[in-house]
Structure 1
């Protein structure tokens, strides 16, 4: 079952026509949220990021789009799919309504909620091999639109195809200044000694929710020094550890980049703190 504007319908139902602006122009935003036993991890952060992004894209925010309303719609969808006592992946997509060419006829929006099963109720460290490579065919722009979680993800799609064709688990994306900004599906962190570095938003990386939470966690501990600074490709093979984050996997250690293999000590230490923060809310 999927939820379109508060109405539950079969996932086999045709929901959109050829005028859908998300399809035609990528005129849409989305949030991907982990839901465990009916609890949405970091829901307030997801909600306020969505509201901020809608304002930036000049979408009209409906009066009923409160924190509580969208949370209830998500939980209703989770329950109808039988995941209320399990772990589930939730995707909430907001798109501008039909009409117009590049210039929309209306700034009013619709939403759709989809859910699917997850294996683990908490964030865990994946011990499998995980090799990455730089993707240098196209670049991430250094602007505010790159910080948003929009449906304009063709660079990520092409990079994913490149990774699959060449046997990599993921790719590292670079911006127009040739600085490493993120992976295909998450925010990048680099560890050297007790320093943990992540690219600043001004470099064009996604304004990720788990990135934000890890910045808070690392900044609050005396064990590590957090740096929000640009990462050069030349730094990668000098790092002790590389990992990336997103709202579904939590923390994913990168095991190998070219000839360099990495440890996962810091990843393992941080994932426990991240789980604790998720349970607190």
Structure 2
């Protein structure tokens, strides 16, 4: 069952063919993990969505409080008999239909979908995970590149490229040929006691899990977190590379071209992340 503007509808219900999220990609979304019925990092998701709506010049309804949207998410979970289970939520906000590139209104609607997932907490994937560079298209750094919008053509084409080349993922470059992120998450590189991740102003997504990992790293005295450019040449010199997003948590990269990597830091951080979730 799907929640469309507070109404629970059958999943087969069709949106209008004039929906601006479909016709112009005029939509934003948040992917949220539910652990045993609890929204993880909900405040971070909410404030990122509000900031993104302002950047997109969408009119934020007065009722769009944290409490209102949380209640609508819970309503959707309950309608799918997933109230106390672990799930993946997608909350999409789109500008109401009308107009061409110039919309007739800045008012919005929302859609909430839910899908059950297997693991309550985050589990480290010990399997083989190979990545390479995706160089067909580049990210142009701006505020728009930091948003989770429906404009994800690069990620779609890059994912197809990865599948065609028997890769698990690819690193995306910006127009300065620096590593920005992976196709489905932020990137962290470990060399000695330095853990580096690209800064948001270079074009990477302002990831919710990225924020959690940065906070964890800053709380560990033996590591130093650096937000700085990562060149492709640094990848083969790294001790460890991992990718983060809110559904997987931390995904260790095991191979990039001829280089293989360890995963000790990723496992350590994942353990601390799960402890943080249990305590909150």
TM-score range, shorter-chain basis?
over 0.9
Taking the aligned partners of 2:278 and 2:212, their CA distance within structure 1 comes to 13
Taking the aligned partners of 2:64 and 2:103, their CA distance within structure 1 comes to 21
Which string of whole-angstrom CA distances, capped at 9 and with x for unpartnered residues, describes residues 74-126 of structure 1? 01111111112221000000000000000000000000000001110001101
- 1:100 corresponds in structure 2 to 99
- 2:13 corresponds in structure 1 to 13
- 2:213 corresponds in structure 1 to 214
- 1:248 corresponds in structure 2 to 247
Task: Answer whether contact 2:38 2:84 (CA < 8 A) is retained.
Answer: no
Q: Any stretches of 5+ residues in structure 1 without a counterpart?
A: none
Q: 1:108 to 1:280 in 2, by over 3 A?
A: farther
- 2:260 corresponds in structure 1 to 261
Superposed displacement of residue 276, structure 1 = 2.2
TM-score (norm 2): 0.99
- 2:169 corresponds in structure 1 to 170
Superposed displacement of residue 277, structure 1 = 2.3
- 2:270 corresponds in structure 1 to 271
- 2:2 corresponds in structure 1 to 2
Superposed counterparts of 1:131-142, under 5 Å: 131-142=130-141
- 1:233 corresponds in structure 2 to 232
SS of residue in 2 equivalent to 1:238: coil
Taking the aligned partners of 1:46 and 1:81, their CA distance within structure 2 comes to 22
Superposed displacement of residue 223, structure 1 = 1.6
Task: Answer whether contact 1:41 1:279 (CA < 8 A) is retained.
Answer: no
Aligned residue pairs, count: 280
SS of residue in 1 equivalent to 2:221: coil
- 1:159 corresponds in structure 2 to 158
Superposed displacement of residue 179, structure 1 = 0.1
SS of residue in 1 equivalent to 2:236: helix
TM-score (norm 1): 0.98
Q: Any stretches of 5+ residues in structure 2 without a counterpart?
A: none
